[in-house]
Structure 1
């Protein structure tokens, strides 16, 4: 692709490089417009005897066709593409879910000159129909070889951006503390946790309150699993203060395994994550009583897609973990 100045008569069929205004300063022709034969007289009438145009080289792909192919290259499951306009295609969430971005593949594709893809942050919650990513071709055309490189990266990655569906799980709420604190603990934790679960499309089971004793917690976990819970959240009068505190002891007594305790996120450092088989168990910190964004909002959506969040995933939250 090259940009050159041509007499208006020779610009027919060529792409205008710049916006052109009329005598009153209003836009008469937009950049990217393909000049038509009947427009030559008007161009000259408003003072454009010569115009800068784009001339494509052999093998160049115009921006809209390139953007359409680029979008197909980066799309994974749960994503839909809009029609290309001025070299841009928006990728929309095809469902309520969680955005998943292959970061290394995204860097590789954005390293190709003239091709750009911008996404929401990976693991963002998104509603169906909202924009998850946008593809933009920077010049008016790009080389076929560049597009093929992008397509190869997209194929190898299996889709650079996807929207993972939120599963409709039953979520058990186990609240702990002294009997005197039962009412306050329930009032503090149950409403905000229930609201989060419902917003993400799952079903909160009625909250169960048990003494802060390892055996009582273990039995509540077993009962929750027996009732069909696909996830368990434990919150209490006091946050978990150690990896061998009462709540983690109860999880182990129930047969669970601690994945990780202590997360580089503020608010929410004292989060614990464990699993009983395939059922995730979240030991929620005290900030879970708040409706403001905290560590629960970073981890809960991922668990409700069925992702088995692991220790290294929680450690990685430190980058951007100051909320």
Structure 2
């Protein structure tokens, strides 16, 4: 590209969009890349502060910002997402379905360390809805070396930076535990909370039983639920270290693989997650899920709905950001809670 005085630009081709900003009125391009400048355009260009402009000079060693932005988009895109129109070297990725956004943090960091380009996204492992903005890409200068873009492409040669895993319909089972509920001493206020949270997703509760603090009965209940077709089993209560709290033992005795009993999250430290036969989650939910606005259950549930298996290492990473501040006005997930993994 070549810098020239605006008054001398008649007949030249713009190599970038020219944006006009009027507070409270507009922020948009008055001229687009590729526009051939006319005599009538000169006063308009001067009115938006362009005493000098860049015009396009063909050079096979460089790429225009829009061409380079397309390369960044290709490095990011995956199934179930589409691009916005390219504008001023920027392309955004938009979700095509409800699902779980996954981000390859190492690749993202490498691209953003290259210089002269950027990709900004939502946090990974967060739920999104169809139409939500997932990420934005941009080239910083108006032009960039072609060989630099070729080098950065190699970072994503094996797989793109982003993945959007669609949510799947689940057949859920709720196992309510506790002598106090089983014998009618108190009302079961836990199950309605679980039903409400499951209702945020495409779920059908096909099994619900209440048991006293008998670990064998709870074990048998979990297995009966799976036999009935449940692909998600949720056990409520009985998760502390009191003598009558038998849920962790009951889940273990199903033969499920215990991924973790305990998580660095408040509320939710006594949470248990396991997988029966490798693919059916059996969860043990502590009492805080019944009364706290947001807990470990809210962090894990989207991953379960997307069939995205949770690991012990990932749970350990939740310590940073794992403290819910219990704000009077809850704005989750648009806050820092649970952004550690």
Q: TM-score band (shorter)?
A: 0.7 to 0.9
The equivalent of 1:121 in structure 2 is: 123
The equivalent of 1:9 in structure 2 is: 8
Match of 1:270, SS state, is: coil
Write the distance in 1 (CA, Å) between the matches of 2:185 and 2:81. 43
Within the candidate set 110, 113, 132, 2:112 is matched to 110
Whose helix fraction is larger, Structure 1's or Structure 2's?
A: 1
| Superposition pairs of residues 49-128 of structure 1, within 5 angstroms | 50-53=51-54, 58-128=60-130
The equivalent of 2:338 in structure 1 is: none
The equivalent of 1:270 in structure 2 is: 270
The equivalent of 1:260 in structure 2 is: 260
The equivalent of 2:213 in structure 1 is: 212
Change (3 A) 1:108 1:206: same
Write the distance in 2 (CA, Å) between the matches of 1:102 and 1:52. 38
Change (3 A) 1:46 1:64: closer
Q: Give CA-to-partner distance per residue, 1:285-320, whole Å, 9 cap, x none.
A: 222113622110111111221122121111111121
Write the distance in 2 (CA, Å) between the matches of 1:27 and 1:273. 49
Q: Out of 246-255 and 49-58, give the one that drifted further.
A: 49-58
The equivalent of 2:150 in structure 1 is: 148
Write the distance in 2 (CA, Å) between the matches of 1:216 and 1:28. 66
Consecutive unaligned residues of structure 1, counting only runs of 5 or more, are none
Write the distance in 1 (CA, Å) between the matches of 2:98 and 2:320. 25
Aligned-pair CA distance for 1:233? 0.8
Write the distance in 1 (CA, Å) between the matches of 2:163 and 2:223. 34
The equivalent of 2:332 in structure 1 is: none
Q: What RMSD in Å do the two structures reach over aligned CA positions?
A: 3.1
Q: Give CA-to-partner distance per residue, 1:222-257, whole Å, 9 cap, x none.
A: 101101111111112x43338x96212112222223
Write the distance in 1 (CA, Å) between the matches of 2:320 and 2:48. 55
Q: Is the Cα–Cα contact under 8 Å of residues 99 and 126 in structure 1 kept in the other structure?
A: yes
Match of 1:275, SS state, is: strand
The equivalent of 2:321 in structure 1 is: 320
